[in-house]
Structure 1
């Protein structure tokens, strides 16, 4: 038996050759199909992620706009309330000022009215000092009985004027007027004293001025209460 053998070199390398491509008309192998499917899935995932990103961005913008709008409304309401408060304060201050001005105007008007009334009364007395006395004689004749004797006392300077007025009054009255005029130096021009048996009447400037002041004060007090 022959134990001899022939040595051969051992091949340590391997030679790989590319797989032959599928000829036309044949379906691609399984690896190519898998890669195509994975590529489509990847593209779909990318598209979905893009859509989600766009949706999140749109939502974030909407939320930001809404938050800004709410903040702007809050700021507007705060500013509006502050403006209303300031307006109320201004109106209250203006009302107080108007009331103070109105009260001052009323006081000024009252002073002016008193001064004007006093001036007019003095002016009337200076123009015709006998007129108030003649009017007082007329009032006295209405109060007394027919035929009552009246004594009229006036300043000596007014004696002729009062006598002339009594003559005119007697000429206009069918009854006999028993009127006598006497001079009294203690009376001021325009003042008079009328006496009869049952009573008398005094006419003086101080009383007339006091009556005028009282009338104006009563009128002003009434207007103040009504306002």
Structure 2
């Protein structure tokens, strides 16, 4: 059997390998391109980070503005409720002063108005009793008789003076009914109504304040 053939290569494995080199101009070009890509990538990343940071800051600012506007709206609602309640209180106080001044100037005016309304509806009533303050008794005798004639009331009219009835108040009574003008009772009812109204206006204000404290 013949010996295997040996392959002989025209290579010297001991010789140094040639270096993988590129021209300097190409190297500088590629280096410039790499620097440009790096700059662009860095710039883009920086812009993205800046945009994200700006978006976060804007979101925080908008949330703060929304909260401030909410507080402002609540504050305005509270002010409006308080002003409305105070306006009602002032109006009632002013009305009371005007009523007192009117009664002092014309104490019989309200009694006269009430009597005219009653007598028109009582033309067929046998008798009517009018009770009022004794200071107005003399004036009432003359004026109530005239009112009875004007309204067509031809029943018996009895006028009684009672010192416990306040000036400007009166009680008109007939067989199956009667009417009362009582300023003190009316004031009490008005005060109660106003108090409920004011409390109703202050309740939302207290709720708004409580929610702000939370």
Q: Secondary structure at the match of 1:194?
A: strand
Displacement over 4 Å in runs of 4+: 214-225
1:122–1:179: structure 2 CA closer, same or farther, 3 Å change rule? same
Q: Secondary structure at the match of 2:154?
A: coil
Within a 5 Å distance, the mapping from 1:63-74 to structure 2 comes to 63-74=41-52
* 1:206 paired residue among 164, 184, 190: 184
1:164–1:218: structure 2 CA closer, same or farther, 3 Å change rule? farther
Alignment pair present for 1:183 and 2:161: yes
RMSD between aligned residues: 2.9
Distance 2:202 2:124 in 1: 46
Within a 5 Å distance, the mapping from 1:8-19 to structure 2 comes to none
Aligned residues: 183
Alignment pair present for 1:103 and 2:78: no
* 1:45 paired residue among 23, 42, 54: 23
Unpaired runs of 5+ residues, structure 1, are: 1-41
Unpaired runs of 5+ residues, structure 2, are: 1-20, 204-214
Distance 2:53 2:82 in 1: 43
Q: Secondary structure at the match of 2:95?
A: helix
Deviations 1:98-127 (A, max 9, x none): 233223223322321221222222222212
Displacement, 1:183? 1.7
Larger radius of gyration: 1
1:173–1:107: structure 2 CA closer, same or farther, 3 Å change rule? closer
Alignment partner, residue 157 of structure 1: 135
Alignment partner, residue 92 of structure 2: 114
Q: Would the aligned equivalents of 1:154 and 1:191 in 2 still touch at CA under 8 Å?
A: yes
Name the TM-score, length of structure 2 as normaliser. 0.72
